[in-house]
């Protein structure tokens, strides 16, 4: 017996057999298909892209004095040195801390589920909930770039264009969001349950 | 309702419970639910307005009592849709530097990115701030409007599924904070004049929060099961 992941209807499902929910017509699985390998694939891709996302410029400012390239970190430093500490903290949290936290948290979850760990299922479920909750906030920097680029087009004075870093960064956000979608938190509890039934 | 100082809470709970049973249709008195996070099977009694049920094992929220009735909610969704259109039709901010002025709408920002060959980012911003929120609001309004007649049709089921699939991908509230960060960023180099859309977006952030409080499970309960034979 399991609940349909779309409409929640509880129904009898034969493991490993495709079934269709009689209420919403979605395909019903006991667990999300290939949850671990799909999550791993997306997560590894996110790790790889995390490097150019931080090294390549997010914004390229061209003025009569020359060209300046800004990465995520240099943007944070600029806020910090110019006195906007609040914003430095917000941008640092959303663009650097949250993506890193998500990558590490997902790695930890995938490793423990892969090892069939039965330890602390509750706190791991809580960790997964946090990952789901904060994931979207790393899009913040992408929106800031989009707006700044559209606004600062002052002919002859300064133009700002989006750098290649934005594409990498946006891809990291999408990939980590997809990775946490593909992960099935019920797997955490499957092993916990087996452990308990052996006792 | 006056509350007496010798208010007996157990009796109040019992009375409340009786009311539930009287109000609820017979087949929904207790339903079997599986927690979507840990798959624990458990029985669920009907919930009162704004009541929330948590999984007995992992503590996830498994069901919510009705927060909205469909009719007032349909009106609210329509209002949100109108605010959404206003937010997109007008410039968010204008920037003045030495006599020259630039301004942008949300779509203008998307177009600038596209113009600079940042296709992926342009698409991402378009989807998360314009396409998905609008699609969700439009579908939700359509579903609520046709609730009485078409709840048994395929269209209804597909719309409801689409609404749920889109939900995690709309990011208006993140965008709103992005606007604020941008304003502070540009504060020192130029004069900034807030546009109509800035206020509309601020309002929209809260209204979409209200829309998100509507639990689609409430509509799924009305959808009949397909014939087992077909």
pLDDT in tens, B85-99: 999 999 999 888 777
Judged against a pLDDT cut of 90, whether residue B56 lies above it is answered with no
**Contact assignment for B57 to A189 by CB distance below 8 Å:** yes
pLDDT in tens, A39-65: 999 999 999 999 999 999 998 888 888
Spatial separation of the C-alpha atoms in residues B38 and B140, rounded to whole Å: 29
Chain A: residue whose CA lies nearest to B188: A82
Per-residue pLDDT, B59: 85
| Alpha-helix runs per DSSP H in chain B | 9-23, 70-89, 106-115, 119-125, 132-145, 147-150, 154-166, 172-187, 196-212, 217-220
Judged against a pLDDT cut of 50, whether residue B18 lies above it is answered with no
Asked if this assembly's ipTM is beyond 0.90, the reply is no
Q: Which of B103, B107, B112, B215 best probes binding to A when mutated, by most A CB atoms within 10 angstroms?
A: B112
Domain ranges, ordered by start, for chain A:
1-31, 34-182
Judged against a pLDDT cut of 80, whether residue B16 lies above it is answered with no
Residue A17's contacts (CB-CB under 8 Å, 6 or more residues apart) are none
- Whether B39 has its CB under 8 Å from any CB of chain A: the answer is yes
Judged against a pLDDT cut of 60, whether residue B220 lies above it is answered with yes
Start-to-end Cα distance in chain A: 24
Judged against a pLDDT cut of 50, whether residue B43 lies above it is answered with yes
Number of neighbouring beta carbons within 10 Å of residue B112: 22
**Contact assignment for B102 to A122 by CB distance below 8 Å:** no
Spatial separation of the C-alpha atoms in residues A138 and A95, rounded to whole Å: 5
Strands B52-54 and B61-64: antiparallel
- Whether A89 has its CB under 8 Å from any CB of chain B: the answer is no
For the four alpha carbons of A134, A137, A138 and A139, in that order, the dihedral sign comes to: positive
pLDDT in tens, B194-208: 889 999 999 999 999
Per-residue pLDDT, A193: 66
Q: Which residues of B touch A144 (CB under 8 A)?
A: 178, 181-182, 185
- B5 pLDDT band (50/70/90 cuts)? very low
| Mean pLDDT (whole number) for A133-143 | 90
Per-residue pLDDT, A31: 82
- From the centroid of its chain, how far is CA B98? 42
Range with lowest mean pLDDT among B106-115, B147-156, B159-168: B147-156
Q: Which residues of A touch B121 (CB under 8 A)?
A: 142, 145-146, 162, 166-167, 170
List B residues 113-142 in contact with A (Cβ-Cβ < 8 A): 113, 116, 118, 120-121, 124-125, 128-129
Residue B162's contacts (CB-CB under 8 Å, 6 or more residues apart) are B135, B139
Spatial separation of the C-alpha atoms in residues A68 and A58, rounded to whole Å: 11
| Mean pLDDT (whole number) for A151-157 | 74
What integer best gives the mean pLDDT of chain B?
82
Percent of chain A's residues with pLDDT above 70: 94
Chain A: residue whose CA lies nearest to B113: A146
Chain A: residue whose CA lies nearest to B55: A122
Q: Is the pTM of this model over 0.80?
A: yes
SS3 content of chain A, % helix, strand, coil (to 5): 60, 15, 25
- B15 pLDDT band (50/70/90 cuts)? very low
Chain B: residue whose CA lies nearest to A141: B178
Judged against a pLDDT cut of 80, whether residue B136 lies above it is answered with yes
- B214 pLDDT band (50/70/90 cuts)? confident
List B residues 72-111 in contact with A (Cβ-Cβ < 8 A): 92-93, 95, 97-98, 100, 102-104, 108-110
**Contact assignment for B104 to A91 by CB distance below 8 Å:** no
């Amino acid at each position: 017996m399991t609940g349909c992941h779309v409409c929640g209807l509880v129904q009898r499902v034969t493991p490993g057999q495709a079934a269709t929910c009689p209420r919403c017509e979605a395909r019903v699985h006991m667990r999300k298909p290939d949850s671990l390998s799909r999550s791993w694939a997306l997560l590894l891709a996110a790790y790889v892209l995390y490097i150019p996302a931080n090294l390549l410029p997010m914004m390229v400012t061209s003025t009569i004095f020359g060209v300046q390239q800004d990465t995520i970190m240099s943007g944070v430093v600029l806020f910090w040195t110019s006195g906007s500490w609040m914003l430095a903290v917000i941008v640092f949290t959303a663009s650097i801390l949250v993506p890193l936290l998500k990558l590490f948290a997902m790695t930890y979850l995938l490793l423990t589920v892969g090892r069939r760990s039965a330890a602390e299922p509750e706190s791991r479920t809580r960790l997964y909930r946090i990952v789901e909750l904060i994931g979207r906030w790393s899009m913040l920097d992408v929106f800031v770039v989009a707006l700044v680029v559209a606004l600062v087009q002052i002919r002859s004075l300064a133009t700002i264009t989006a750098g290649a870093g934005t594409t990498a960064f946006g891809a990291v956000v999408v990939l980590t969001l997809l990775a946490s979608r593909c992960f099935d938190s019920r797997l955490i509890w499957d092993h916990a349950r087996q452990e308990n039934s052996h006792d | 309702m006056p509350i007496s100082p010798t208010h007996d809470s157990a009796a109040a709970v019992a009375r409340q419970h009786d009311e539930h049973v009287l109000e609820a249709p017979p087949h929904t008195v207790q339903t079997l639910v599986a927690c979507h996070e840990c798959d624990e099977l458990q029985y669920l009694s009907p919930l009162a307005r704004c009541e929330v049920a948590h999984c007995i094992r992992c503590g996830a929220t498994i069901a919510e009592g009705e927060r909205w009735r469909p009719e007032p909610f349909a009106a609210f969704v329509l209002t949100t849709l109108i605010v959404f259109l206003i937010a997109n039709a007008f410039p968010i901010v204008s920037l003045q530097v030495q006599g020259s002025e630039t301004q942008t709408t949300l779509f203008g920002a998307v177009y600038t990115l596209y113009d600079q060959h940042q296709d992926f980012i342009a698409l991402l911003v378009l989807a998360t701030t314009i396409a998905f929120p609008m699609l969700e609001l439009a579908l939700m309004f359509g579903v609520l409007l046709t609730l009485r007649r078409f709840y048994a049709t395929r269209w209804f089921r597909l719309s409801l599924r689409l609404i749920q699939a889109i939900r995690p991908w709309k990011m208006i509230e993140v965008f709103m904070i992005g606007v604020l960060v941008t304003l502070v960023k540009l504060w020192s180099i130029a004069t900034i004049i807030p546009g109509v859309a800035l206020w509309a977006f601020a309002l929209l952030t809260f209204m979409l929060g209200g829309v998100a409080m509507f639990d689609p499970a409430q509509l799924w309960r009305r959808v009949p099961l397909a014939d087992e034979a077909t």
